[in-house]
Structures are given as structure tokens and as C-alpha cells.
Amino acid sequence: MTGRDFAEPAVWWAVLLATYLAVISKISVTELVVGALASAAAAAAAVVARRALLSTDNPERYRPRPGWLRWALPIPAQILADSVRLVRPRGGLAELPLPEDHRAAALRGFASLAVSTSPGTFVTAVDPDRNILVVHRISPRPSPAERAVSR
């Protein structure tokens, strides 16, 4: 067992436990035990899932492209605008075509995350055959995140 084999789940466990402890109202011994056990299970699942997605046996490519980080730029402004639009929603379902990419599975996953971050848009379905996301939005027009993802 290498240091990396130990470090990855330890980091996951620490981050997950810290997040759990940050959201509970009162830290007690029971909460510490529950948090530690739940964080250990979630850390194990995260490590196993990451290794499965990145294995050489997997025909899909789940490695993200660094350029996909630009999708996060419009999200803070969109969260504020969507919070105001929630007072009078007028949207519905729409199809969001994604660009062709040999890492299509990763593209769909990261695009779903970017589009669903704000309160006004979320992905309801993914069609991998047509490479589209079906989104529900509160505005009749595409959001800045949707436009960034579909480029």
C-alpha cells in the first residue's frame, strides 16, 4: 500500500467530516461517531467511483478538460438573477445541445453540474445518443451557463 493509496481516502474523509460537522447544530459524541462513519463510507465510495471512471477498461473518457472551468464564470451572477426570477417563473423544458467531444460522457456530467448549479435551471434528463441535455428553466431564454456549455 502506497502513501497515495492512504492519502486519497484520508483527504476525502477529512473534507466530508468537516462538511458534516459544519452543518450540524450541536456537536456531540454521537454526532462525531455518526459523522466519522458516514464520512468513511462516502470516502470509500468516492475513491472506488473515481478509480472505476478513470480505469483503462472503461471505454468512456471521464477526464475533464481544463477549458470547462470557464463554465463556472457566469454562475455567481446567474444565481443572483435566478433568485429574483423565482418570484415569477415563466420557463419550461428545453433541449440543450452539447458540442461533439471524444470525452462526451465527462462533458455531459460536468455540463449537467454547471447548468444545475443556479436555482433557475436544472437538468431533468440526458440523451447520450443525441448528446443533449433536457433542462427545466425558469426563464424562456437560455441562461449564461447554458450558452457557455453549448459552445
Number of other CB atoms surrounding residue 98 within 10 Å: 20
According to the model, what pLDDT value does residue 123 have?
93
Question: What CA–CA distance (Å, rounded) separates 103 from 98?
Answer: 12
Percent of the chain topping pLDDT 70: 93
According to the model, what pLDDT value does residue 95 have?
93
**Whether residue 67 has pLDDT greater than 90:** no
**Contact call for residues 116 and 42 (beta carbons, < 8 A):** no
Q: What is the mean pLDDT of residues 96-100?
A: 88
**Whether residue 15 has pLDDT greater than 70:** yes
Provide the pLDDT confidence category of residue 56 given band limits of 50, 70 and 90: low
Number of other CB atoms surrounding residue 111 within 10 Å: 24
Provide the pLDDT confidence category of residue 108 given band limits of 50, 70 and 90: confident
Provide the pLDDT confidence category of residue 5 given band limits of 50, 70 and 90: confident
**Whether residue 52 has pLDDT greater than 90:** no
Q: Which residues contact 91 (CB under 8 A, 6 or more apart)?
A: 120, 136, 137, 138, 139, 140
**Whether residue 69 has pLDDT greater than 90:** no
Q: How high does pLDDT run on average in the chain? A: 86
Residue 116 DSSP code: T
Least confident of 55-69, 70-84, 90-104, 111-125: 55-69
Q: What is the mean pLDDT of residues 111-139?
A: 90
Q: What is the mean pLDDT of residues 35-42?
A: 95
